[in-house]
Chains A and B, each alone.
Chain A
Amino acid sequence: MIDFLQLTVAGLSQGSVYALLAVGLIATYTVRHVVNIAQGDYATLAGLGSISLVTAGLPLPVAILIALISVTLASVLIERLVIARVKNLTTLVSIILTLGVSTLLQAIMLLIWGAEAKRLPAFPGSDLTLGGVSIRSQELWMLGALVVVGGGVLLFYEKTRWGKALRASAEQPVAARIVGISPAVASVIAFAIAGFVGATAGVVSSPIYLSIWSGGLLLGLKGFVAAVLGGLVSFRAAIVGALLLGIIESYVAGYVASGWKDAVAFFILIIVLIIRPAGLVLRPNAVRV
């Protein structure tokens, strides 16, 4: 039982990283129908950036703040320089474009930070043991980041006027423009959110999973699988899906074989796309935005 709970804790903390990336993916998909392959690279970029800043002598919170802001700006820049330039942006074109962006980002990271994995110092706090289950303080930071940042984005989209406007511009672009919502501004905001949540995932996970230039693609794909569980539109379903994915991966590693761990996500992806292509929550015939 203790082992089971221990595996669950590991799965939840891993899942919280997937969840943040899934939130970023959905943010850009709902507004621009962009599947952003570079989403995972935001995480590594923020992780490596904050490591450099800490090495340069900045206090951890300052380093993290600068990294979060920089990556958010980088994501906006990518939107302005690449995504916004394309006239007839389809989802397929967006995948190819952002794959290019991802490759470019990885090459830049390799040049700047080198090939070796690096670690950000752990956030303050002490590890605890609850009924034999060991929990690292960093794992609580990761789950906390999901609750605050992921939950914040969710509330923003669902409760605020700005968030509703963003969704409106995706669902009815012409009508949205008539009532005064600029699609360009909506797109910039969506990419800023994607950059921010991706960067958050990167800095909170770096102290235990390390940061390496090539790590973003797999992370991003896991986030994508979680986003697909949410039909690419539902933040709630994607977050739940991401946590489930992390937990299932952890159980498979513990009870079956650790080599199967990375295969789980893609097995789930195939099954979902065949059986419930609209995701876990929507009725199959519901209109997708």
Chain B
Amino acid sequence: MHRAQRRLLLPAAVAASIALALTGCGASNFGGDSGDSASEEGPIKIGAVLDITGVGANLGVPEQNTLNMLAEQLNAEGGIDGREVELIIKDNQSTEDGAAKATTQLIENDDVDLIIGSSRTGPSLAMRPLVEAAQVPTISVAANAAIVDGSEWVFKTAQNDLVVLERILDDAASKGYTKIALVRDATGFGEGIADIITELGEERGITLTATESFEPSATDFTAQMTNIRAADADAVIIWGITPSAGLAQAAYVQLGVNKPVYQSHGVANDAFFEAAGPAADGVIAPMGRLLVADELSDDDPQKPVIDQFIADYTEEFGSAPSSFAGHAYDAWLVGTKALESAGTEPQALRDAIESTADLVGISGIFTMTPENHSGLTADALIMALAEGGRWTLYEE
């Protein structure tokens, strides 16, 4: 019996080592082995890791729609340099480990040339070490500056939390507010927000007097809002994504806190109004120009790009795109422009993305530098006011 087993072991071991050697070859560009001539032909592979199900669904679903639509358009026009573009979208289920798993699959099995994602900060941060190690150019569509802080291979298209808070605090200071309370998302998106407010507030004479947090899956916000009601503040910042930030807004109004509210660009969609209902009225939030497109002046350089995108998206999906759809559009734009000029060789592609300049997108006009992998400044933001179930232009 024992001998029989031992006899089986040898062929099994041989088979295993052959299999290992084969997979080792298959993943040859895993270690940044850039001279892989095979990947210079055939379809260009773009992978995307998005928060399609779970708490990030309000972000990931329109992003998925956008990428599918743009890939179809690009291939209908003949692809990039005559090469078809193959888009592989994976759902990270709004989890960090889901994002890591999907990223590993894209790198090792699908051998992608470029990765877009994730939709939220946490999953994007989980992807970062993997794509840095594998040296795959990656464009996140999430907000927190930590995603690209000091990164070599990671870029992103959503406006940085830092510039968003600058706009909020500038507005608060101009209205004479000196004390701010914060209710923030407990995950990556809200991480570090309190510190930034304290830091930016100092030069504007604003202090942070209270901080509460909520899970993006939360449905009841009574606890946070009762504490905020008891806090000493002139205005409140609610920092999160929909639907949770919308439900938080509803609880805020219902509990009669009665102080002005700023929200982040995480609520730049119609889902905010569905979750908050009439409680949304009066909220001020910095965001890109997409949602107030009809109020833009005709000489706005972004207007033609935005109008075209809204028309295409609405025709395809029957509803207007959210800012998150815009972040995906921008990631696709930055990525495909770089692929056009540099091809799929990883180092060249990365350098091409980093040298993106004056590229007019949906969320702003992108100029990347080695120090700035986010590409947008405070100019990319307008202040929007929630009024009658939609966002209107409050301040350029």
Residues on A lying within 8 angstroms of B by beta carbon are 3, 6-7, 9-10, 14, 110, 114-119, 122, 127, 129, 134, 136, 208-210, 212-214, 250, 253-254, 257-259, 261-262
Contact = CB atoms under 8 A, between A and B. Distances in A.
B223 A115 contact: no
Interface in B188-217: 212-215
A208 B213 contact: no
B223 A253 contact: yes
A146 to B, nearest CB: 16
A245 to B, nearest CB: 13
Nearest to A116: B57
A30 to B, nearest CB: 30
Contacts of B372: none
A254 B223 contact: yes
Nearest to B255: A134
Contacts of A214: 53-54
B224 A116 contact: no
In the A-B complex, the 5 residue pairs with the smallest Cβ-Cβ separation, listed nearest first, are A10-B222, A253-B223, A254-B223, A115-B57, A209-B219
B53 A110 contact: yes
A84 to B, nearest CB: 32
Nearest to A9: B222
A117 B224 contact: no
Interface string B148-161: 00000000000000
B186 interface: yes
Contacts of A129: 256
Interface in B90-118: none
A61 B215 CA distance: 32
A262 B223 CA distance: 13
B23 interface: no
Contacts of A127: 254
Nearest to B94: A115
A263 to B, nearest CB: 11
B349 interface: no
B379 interface: no
A258 B213 contact: yes
A210 B275 contact: yes
Q: Which residue of A7, A212, A253, A257 has the most chain B CB atoms within 10 A of its CB atom?
A: A253
A164 B395 CA distance: 68
Given A3-B226, A119-B274, A253-B222, 19 more contacts: A6-B226, A7-B223, A115-B52, A115-B61, A117-B58, A117-B243, A117-B275, A129-B256, A134-B256, A208-B250, A210-B219, A212-B57, A214-B54, A253-B220, A254-B222, A254-B226, A258-B186, A258-B223, A258-B224
Given A6-B226, A6-B255, A258 B215 contact: yes
Interface string B221-263: 0111011011000000000000100010010001110000000
A53 B343 CA distance: 50
Nearest to A135: B254
A262 B247 CA distance: 18
A289 B61 CA distance: 47
Contacts of B275: 117, 119, 210
A123 B243 CA distance: 20
A134 B254 contact: yes
Contacts of B227: 3, 254
A258 B224 CA distance: 7
A7 B213 contact: no
A147 to B, nearest CB: 20
B271 interface: yes
A116 B223 contact: no
A21 B31 CA distance: 52
Contacts of B61: 114-116
Contacts of B52: 115
A14 B218 CA distance: 12
A115 B218 contact: no
Contacts of B226: 3, 6-7, 254
Contact of A208 (B219, B256, B271): B219
A49 to B, nearest CB: 18
A209 B220 contact: yes
Given A110-B53, A115-B61, A259 B213 contact: yes
Given A7-B223, A136-B254, A259 B58 contact: no
